[in-house]
Structure 1
Amino acid sequence: MSSLADPNPANDSRRLASAAAKRKLDDYAPTASDDDDFAADLLSIRMRKDELFSVQHPAFAPASSSSSGRVPWPLTHSPLPPARLAFASRLQFFVRMISEGKTLVFQANSSDTVQSIHDRIQVITGIPVSEQRLIYRGKQLQCEKSLAECAIQNDAGLHLVGRMRSTGHPQAWQIIDDMISLVCRLCKGETVPYALKTIKTRISEYLSMTPKDDGDPATGHLQIFMSSSAPAALVMLYISSIRGNKECADDSIRHFLDSCINELPKSLRSRCAPIVLEFCKLLRRSSSDDSLYLSCRSSLGSMLELIKVSWIVEHTESVKRAISIPEIFPFVSELADRLSKDLELSLYSSASVGTWSDVLDFTMFLRPLRTAIAGHKGFKHPISLPLKKKHHDVLMCTEEVELLYQIFEEMVQKMIKCLIGIEERLSAKVGGEIDIAHPGWSRYLTILKELNAISKLYLGSEERFWTILSTRKRALCMLVVRYAKRNDDHKWLLEHKDIMDFESRRHLVMMMFPEVKEDFEEQHEMLIDRSQLLSESFEYIANAEAESLHGGIFMEFKNEEATGPGVLREWFVLVCQAIFNQENPLFVACPNDRRRFYPNPASTVEPLHLKYFNFSGRMIGLALMHKVQVGIVLDRVFFLQLGGYSISLEDIRDADPYMYNSCKKILEMDAEFIDSDALGLTFVREVEELGLRRVVELCDGGKGMVVNSKNRNDYVDLLIKHRFVTSISQQVAHFAQGFGDILSDLRLQKFFFQSLELEDIDQMLHGSENDISVEDWKAHTEYNGYKASDPQIVWFWKIVGEMSPQQKKNILFFWTSVKYLPVEGFRGLASRLYIYKSTEHLSRLPSSHTCFYRLCFPPYASMAIMQQRLSIIAQEHVGCSFGTW
């Protein structure tokens, strides 16, 4: 198997196989044995196609087959001009057996009687003449009349209706036959009033008659469109050189596609896939860049999600929903070629990588192909290449399996070059040389996602694929942050979170939250009394419908003018600090890190403790959703359980240092010493609840099980499990439920935490650990009414620079309602900061508009006066409710 990193450019097998795949798409009609009913049916259908295509486009004439035991396709017959039809002594015409869905081909003299045709039908089918009726142009033919007297023309189509057997869909046959007759008239140059409207009406009537149950009646009904050669007729009209025909056919075929997708139920939509596949095969012969072909290809791709892709189709009397891999693969090969060329071009120009249609079609055709390959029991999965000879001898489609891997290899190499190009541009951007914006980059993530999916099929390919991407980490992370969209599937990236940085992981998990809406009418409104902050906030949030919290929050403190985002940020910080306050029994702070918390096993002293844990989960989720750093972080034992992970000894180091050290000593003790029972340990644990101590068995019969050198690992595991899992399982579950309520999908709750490192959630909830940099602060501040050189601005920064870290935090909180800066510092805030010159009296204190990060103060007369004013607002208890908006 060739290496991803070292492809062989001299190997022509990829190109040869690709050409073979394209030939498969161009190879319109299969052949079959004479005694095969399906072959006879297909042959008669093909004859109708020959009739249609011989009119306008010789490129569509079918190739003959001379293989032994095969039925050769007949030569095409150009219809005679109307003026010469009367003189023709020899006729060829078609008799469609409605009850069987087959078409018989007859040759006869124009003087032959209708009775003679009935006799020949009886010989072929066994249907008694007395039970036959021949219909032509809506009228039954009289037996005693000649074909000339009945005005039977060369290549005419007759219907055979049996009295004993009848089709289940006679009206549908008639509708489609009328449509085809109209198309043939247009192709012959006749002027037909309201032709387009009539064709579209017939298509709508035909589809509206489709039986609504997804069974044989629906299949038989839709089969009529294929058996009557309607796709060939419409494509014949599309390639016609007669003025107006192309536009008429284009509109009609698009009407069929739209009607299938928009008007039929999903279950029936899939039955139209073989018809759309037929359109694709016919149209592609003209041009693979034809706009109508591209529309048909996209429609087929969307239908593939609803059908089963098999290794080979079993041809029976009714069309199955399955489409074979050989029918799907040519589209994959075609699209891969297009995208590969575009990737190559994107290295040297700013051209876009394909159209979104090409990229989306590539994913739609690949998905069922991968599913079919992965589900094939003939291979050992993942597949080891090259395939052994026995696979080629026994299994179908081995060529496609090998060719798909070659497509994967080639596109990976192209993507590597593209990622290197991105990194070169990023490096140049640092020097200020060029703008890194590039329209083609928006396609890269989608292509990489599909390559990742293909890699899972082949042994060793997934590991090598991600090893390669890890060497291009900088480019990958840039693509994620800039181009990953909210509605995309990001699971494939987050499953490999280790090769991404914090910024890209944060970007992806934040899209698991609903987008915060600014529409006031959709926001959840709250009016909170500061003196009842926790209890009233609990009532508003815990009792709200989860959906109502997705639209955003509008909150206001009672008897205060300030409203808006600044007040909301303040509320988040204050409520979270109250929830985790150690005077409340909900959470326990870690002895080694007082910022970290995990659920308190003794929280049952609060009757509503489980509802409060649900409320706490909602509050943390909302804080993350609104990008507010609240200064609270979760302990490792809590974080791991939210992600569905088990807890090990090393994980409890911060939560319970005493238990950690004790367990560590037990595991490291000399075996003889612990076997002597000197410690007197059994599989029990003492628990204190409401001031009372009780003994709990860690397992059945734990009181009688002595800890020794052989079972001490089990003892430590059970001790940790009881202390940090069993005793707080309900609290964790309710917190997780509340957190999940805030996500776009509750089922993402565990995956959210699995997608992050503990350090990531620390930075998202707590923010920067660094002291506030005054220089960074100044660099992100602008002025209105003041200039940077004004004495008041110079004094301000000098005073702030000499403040303590806590005073700086208080000033920032007063100014912005941001108590904890994002990990990026001031660059991570939603806006730049502003200092405004106010017209207030010089005796007034500074004020702020926290929503707009705006600080206002008058032009104080001296630095001493300004320092006295700033020292007041730098006090923590003052830094609240000064904001106006």
Structure 2
Amino acid sequence: MSVLPTVSLSAVIARLRQRLDHHLLPSKRKLDDYGLESDSNSDSGDPSRHLVSMLTPDPFSPSSSAAPFPPLADAASRVFPSSSSSPSPSSTLHFFVRTMSKTRVIHASPFDTVDSVIDQIRTITGITTWEQRLIYAGRQLPGDCTLAECSLENDCCLHLTGRLRSTRFPRTWQVVNDLVSSVSALIESGCYADRLRAMRENSNIDELVKEFLIILAKTASESDEVTWGHLRVFLVAGAPMVLIKLYLSAVREDRTLAERAIQLFLRPNSELLPKSVQVRCAPIMLEFCKLLAGTVGKKDQLYLSCRSAYAMLLEALDWRRVSQLKSVASVIVELFPFVSEMAGTLMEGLSSESMMVSTADLNEFAKFSCALRGAIQDWMGENCPIPELLYNGTQPQREDWIGSLHDIYADLLKKVDQCLKKVEGFLEKKGSVQSEIRWAGWSHILAILTELNCFSNIYEGAGQLLHSVLLARRCPLNALIRRAKRSENLRWLLKHKDVTDFEARQNLVLMMFPDGKDDYDELHEMLIDRSQLLAESFEYIGQADATALHGRLFMEFKNEVATGPGVLREWFCLVCQAIFSPQNVLFLSCANDRRRVFPNPASAVDPLHLKYFGFCGRVIALALMHRVQVGVVFDRVFFLQLAGKGLTLEDIQNADPCLYMSCKKILEMDAELLDSDVLGLTFFREYEELGTHRVVELCPGGKEIAVNSQNKEEYINLLIEHCFVTSISEQISHFAQGFSDILANSNEQKFIFQSLDLEDFDRMLGGSDSVINVREWKAHTEYNGYKARDRQICWFWKIVEGMPAEQQRVLLFFWTSVKYLPVDGFGGLGSKLYIYKASESQDRLPASHTCFYRLCLPVYNSISIMRSRLHMITQEHISCTFGIW
């Protein structure tokens, strides 16, 4: 407390305002904003819970420049000429009360009691503390005494003390306030000497930030509310603002110090900032981003680092827990600027000549977009798309971001369309071969389309707009998909069958399988006796842990030296031949196409039949994963049920032509004739199974229900249901489970079969069953030691051309372990075929290295000798030994 006889109140207030303009904390925050509770029952002796408010003279007066408070010895007789003099009743004393955010002026009479002064301070400032006391010269002033009775000297200084009402985080408040004070002192240091002193006194900024993070780390096992409470202290106390203020300093050392402190929030640390706690620091990261963007700009490296860290934290946030702490609308408003900013960055890259976009920018866009979509979907409630009338300008928008975000979506889609058009131009240039580096650089176009596809679910009509672009740019789109690297995010393209071609769909489906790394520790090794092929393969594959099959298979036959991919391809063909053999009871072949199979309803004759169906599902999935065509295709009744779809009469045409024709006749029969019961049909089925005559009612009381023109379709549907669904449901279920075991995500089995047409699956699994084109075969063959004009080579192709189709296929199998070519012929093998000159005598048979598609051909002296040797190796029992005899 001091009396100001010469300085006007307006001058003091003007100076105070000038001083507060430099203060970093908001001037209108209430005490409650600082985490103080209204519970006055807590009584703690913790000194950190005490607040000292100083009643001090004008800080801008000459006497205050040397020291914060005037010495008590020098404060004599400025108001009262002597200690015995009595003050005039009209005298007025002026008090300056400094709170956390502003300084206030208090007026009092010398005859006012100390308690009344304290009450006046409490009323004006709103500070509600316990045991408030006025301290003068180290002693407490009695509350019932007047100011005059306390013998206050002229220009004296009083301190108002009191304990704050209880706060939950006293240590956090103390650490953060020390941090703010240290940074502020460093910022406000003036001359060089003052600056050196401030740097020495405030060199603990890093340590204070670390101490705050350690406090925060201890909340890892506590609730979100506790962690958010500590974070709120950091934010409310203005710590982010003072650190950014320090970063804005023209002094390089200040910038370095601030950047080092902020960087502590950007990287997880097991001791300072565990990952689980760093995720909850998203509000602090958001504050850093806002402050940096508004000061140093969005090109600053620290801003980019904070933005990247914030995107990473958003990816790991649980939005259901976030929504409990803040409104969804506020989350949308916070995230929208980042999506807008990153979309602008992407469009800038797409507009360049190279159409290149950095992976980092693309990943950040995806993370911010995903977070914003999650918030919007929560805001939408029932997950319905936003109606067009809300964003097309015909009606006032409910939220500003709705129209703006749709504009961003439309602009980005338009830019992608232009990029696809440019890719299409490159494809149309004759003789133009684009490097793999360029194709890899264009892969981000698919990633951006993926994000746009996700956003298309938010707006009404956006999906149709996206599909129209995909359809118009079908050619370049498929070119990109065929070259795309493994990514789970691209699976949405499988839903657009009218846009994708077979090669594109095949690549997308294969992305759902494990990548099958060739690491030695992940190889699943098999050593199999040819004479026990099916039984031992069942043990190695059917009984193995599913995860053990997600790597590569290493295959070797007993007593044979051959190993490698060629032997593995042979094993796939041989084991599938055994599984689907007519001599086995697991599957039946279609009458009109012996390669096409479906489960045998009578497979239960083998007690292990269901386990073998699971084994079969694994083998087929592994064959697809290793891209081996095994020459087997599924019938429609089998394929559709794997896709979870129902059957119609047309679907059983290949599986049972007789039943199909009978049902067709019933449907086409004259209604009057059918109603006369000329066929004598009722709703039951008679059939033979394993030598036993069986009768099954197709519905309750079916024997008594006659088939007529009104119920004939129901009868046929029930008949198909029993013959091809109910009777093989267990077999299909176990096959599907085995197939799912091999997938990277076991829940995607149905989706794979739904995404493909039966013809697609035939191509992927069965390969081509057409006659081999010898001219194409010859064109894809190169020579080592021989020349194309050598007589042995001319004899060889002449002999091959004269072989029957089946013998040609066996020769190809001996040479490459490929019995069924891919649908695009030899070009689909991925490698040329080779004929090597063998040094062995002409008495020896040709040999092969199937891993390298290499045929070792001795130098035979005559075409007849060569023909006899080739005839020998093209016998079925010889070709499977890869030239070993």
- What letter is aligned with 2:590? C
Cα deviation code 1:674-701 (max 9, x no counterpart): 2222222221111322212221111122
Q: Give the deviation of 1:122 after TM superposition.
A: 2.7
Shift of the 332–151 alpha-carbon distance from structure 1 to 2, 3 Å rule, reads farther
Q: Give the deviation of 1:215 after TM superposition.
A: 4.1
Question: Following the alignment from structure 1 to structure 2, what is the Cα–Cα distance between the partners of residues 134 and 747?
Answer: 73
Q: Give the deviation of 1:151 after TM superposition.
A: 13
2:356 match: 352
2:550 match: 550
Question: Following the alignment from structure 1 to structure 2, what is the Cα–Cα distance between the partners of residues 661 and 30?
Answer: 87
Shift of the 519–363 alpha-carbon distance from structure 1 to 2, 3 Å rule, reads closer
* 2:392/2:403 contact within 8 Å kept: no
Paired residue secondary structure (2:267): helix
2:677 match: 677
1:290 correspondence with 2:306? no
2:103 to 103, 106, 110: 106
Paired residue secondary structure (1:555): strand
Q: Give the deviation of 1:442 after TM superposition.
A: 1.9
Question: Following the alignment from structure 1 to structure 2, what is the Cα–Cα distance between the partners of residues 160 and 259?
Answer: 40
Paired residue secondary structure (2:498): helix
1:774 correspondence with 2:788? no
Shift of the 263–31 alpha-carbon distance from structure 1 to 2, 3 Å rule, reads closer
1:324 correspondence with 2:327? no
Shift of the 309–813 alpha-carbon distance from structure 1 to 2, 3 Å rule, reads closer
Give 1 or 2 for the bigger CA radius of gyration.
2
Question: Following the alignment from structure 2 to structure 1, what is the Cα–Cα distance between the partners of residues 715 and 644?
Answer: 22
Greater shift after overlay, 203-212 or 402-411? 203-212
Q: Give the deviation of 1:645 after TM superposition.
A: 0.8
Question: Following the alignment from structure 1 to structure 2, what is the Cα–Cα distance between the partners of residues 87 and 431?
Answer: 84
* 2:285/2:310 contact within 8 Å kept: yes
Q: Give the deviation of 1:420 after TM superposition.
A: 1.0
Greater shift after overlay, 638-647 or 181-190? 181-190
2:349 match: 342
Structure 1 segment 366-515 matched on structure 2, within 5 A: 366-377=369-380, 381-387=384-390, 396-397=398-399, 399-428=400-429, 430-432=430-432, 435=435, 437-438=438-439, 440-483=441-484, 485-515=485-515
Cα deviation code 1:56-103 (max 9, x no counterpart): xxxxxxxxxxxxxxxxxxxxxx999999463899999964xxxxxxx5
Q: Give the deviation of 1:269 after TM superposition.
A: 4.6
Question: Following the alignment from structure 1 to structure 2, what is the Cα–Cα distance between the partners of residues 498 and 860?
Answer: 54
Instruction: Specify every segment of 5 or more residues in structure 2 that has no aligned partner in the other structure, as ranges.
Output: 1-23, 36-58, 71-93, 142-151, 190-194
2:199 match: 191
1:657 match: 657
- What letter is aligned with 2:350? L
Question: Following the alignment from structure 2 to structure 1, what is the Cα–Cα distance between the partners of residues 433 and 567?
Answer: 42
Question: Following the alignment from structure 2 to structure 1, what is the Cα–Cα distance between the partners of residues 584 and 454?
Answer: 49
2:87 match: none
Question: Following the alignment from structure 1 to structure 2, what is the Cα–Cα distance between the partners of residues 356 and 86?
Answer: 57
Q: Give the deviation of 1:558 after TM superposition.
A: 1.8
1:72 match: none
* 2:133/2:140 contact within 8 Å kept: no
Question: Following the alignment from structure 1 to structure 2, what is the Cα–Cα distance between the partners of residues 132 and 818?
Answer: 93
Cα deviation code 1:242-292 (max 9, x no counterpart): 112223322322221223899767775554222211111101112112222
Paired residue secondary structure (2:389): coil
Shift of the 758–263 alpha-carbon distance from structure 1 to 2, 3 Å rule, reads farther
1:237 match: 246
1:216 correspondence with 2:225? yes
* 1:118/1:129 contact within 8 Å kept: no
Q: Give the deviation of 1:670 after TM superposition.
A: 2.3
Paired residue secondary structure (2:489): coil
Shift of the 688–734 alpha-carbon distance from structure 1 to 2, 3 Å rule, reads same
Instruction: Specify every segment of 5 or more residues in structure 1 that has no aligned partner in the other structure, as ranges.
Output: 1-28, 43-77, 96-102, 153-157
Question: Following the alignment from structure 1 to structure 2, what is the Cα–Cα distance between the partners of residues 141 and 647?
Answer: 96
1:86 match: 67
- What letter is aligned with 1:105? K
| TM-score, scaled relative to structure 1 | 0.81
Question: Following the alignment from structure 1 to structure 2, what is the Cα–Cα distance between the partners of residues 786 and 616?
Answer: 43
- What letter is aligned with 1:647? L
Question: Following the alignment from structure 1 to structure 2, what is the Cα–Cα distance between the partners of residues 134 and 276?
Answer: 42
Question: Following the alignment from structure 2 to structure 1, what is the Cα–Cα distance between the partners of residues 338 and 726?
Answer: 54
Q: Give the deviation of 1:849 after TM superposition.
A: 1.5
* 1:175/1:206 contact within 8 Å kept: no
Number of aligned positions between the proteins: 791
- What letter is aligned with 1:276? M
Q: Which has the higher contact order (CA 8 A, sep 6+)?
A: 1
- What letter is aligned with 2:302? L
Q: Give the deviation of 1:191 after TM superposition.
A: 2.9
Give RMSD over aligned pairs.
4.0
Shift of the 520–259 alpha-carbon distance from structure 1 to 2, 3 Å rule, reads closer
2:624 match: 624
* 2:786/2:836 contact within 8 Å kept: yes
2:288 to 274, 279, 294: 279
Greater shift after overlay, 264-273 or 684-693? 264-273
* 2:213/2:273 contact within 8 Å kept: no
Cα deviation code 1:765-794 (max 9, x no counterpart): 111233222333233333333333433333
Q: Give the deviation of 1:617 after TM superposition.
A: 0.7
Q: Give the deviation of 1:467 after TM superposition.
A: 2.6
1:842 correspondence with 2:842? yes
Greater shift after overlay, 857-866 or 193-202? 193-202
Shift of the 783–37 alpha-carbon distance from structure 1 to 2, 3 Å rule, reads same
Greater shift after overlay, 464-473 or 377-386? 377-386
- What letter is aligned with 1:467? S
Question: Following the alignment from structure 1 to structure 2, what is the Cα–Cα distance between the partners of residues 699 and 442?
Answer: 55
Q: Give the deviation of 1:520 after TM superposition.
A: 3.3
Q: Give the deviation of 1:324 after TM superposition.
A: 2.5
Question: Following the alignment from structure 2 to structure 1, what is the Cα–Cα distance between the partners of residues 456 and 595?
Answer: 43
- What letter is aligned with 1:464? L
Question: Following the alignment from structure 1 to structure 2, what is the Cα–Cα distance between the partners of residues 679 and 559?
Answer: 63
Paired residue secondary structure (2:835): strand
Shift of the 85–777 alpha-carbon distance from structure 1 to 2, 3 Å rule, reads farther
Question: Following the alignment from structure 1 to structure 2, what is the Cα–Cα distance between the partners of residues 617 and 551?
Answer: 17
1:246 match: 255
- What letter is aligned with 1:352? M
* 2:585/2:600 contact within 8 Å kept: yes
Question: Following the alignment from structure 2 to structure 1, what is the Cα–Cα distance between the partners of residues 872 and 62?
Answer: 103
- What letter is aligned with 1:336? A
Paired residue secondary structure (1:561): coil
- What letter is aligned with 2:522? E
Greater shift after overlay, 842-851 or 415-424? 842-851
* 1:308/1:322 contact within 8 Å kept: no
Question: Following the alignment from structure 1 to structure 2, what is the Cα–Cα distance between the partners of residues 421 and 339?
Answer: 17
* 1:777/1:826 contact within 8 Å kept: yes
Paired residue secondary structure (2:210): helix
* 1:223/1:319 contact within 8 Å kept: no
Q: Give the deviation of 1:387 after TM superposition.
A: 2.2
Q: What is the aligned-residue identity percentage?
A: 50
Structure 1 segment 480-879 matched on structure 2, within 5 A: 480-483=481-484, 485-879=485-879
Paired residue secondary structure (2:764): helix
Shift of the 554–40 alpha-carbon distance from structure 1 to 2, 3 Å rule, reads closer
Q: Give the deviation of 1:725 after TM superposition.
A: 0.6
1:202 to 211, 216, 227: 211
Greater shift after overlay, 648-657 or 239-248? 239-248
Question: Following the alignment from structure 1 to structure 2, what is the Cα–Cα distance between the partners of residues 838 and 416?
Answer: 56
Q: Give the deviation of 1:127 after TM superposition.
A: 6.3
Shift of the 160–232 alpha-carbon distance from structure 1 to 2, 3 Å rule, reads farther
Q: Give the deviation of 1:639 after TM superposition.
A: 0.5
* 1:222/1:272 contact within 8 Å kept: yes
Question: Following the alignment from structure 2 to structure 1, what is the Cα–Cα distance between the partners of residues 790 and 502?
Answer: 40
Question: Following the alignment from structure 1 to structure 2, what is the Cα–Cα distance between the partners of residues 150 and 826?
Answer: 99
* 2:524/2:554 contact within 8 Å kept: yes
Q: Give the deviation of 1:607 after TM superposition.
A: 0.9
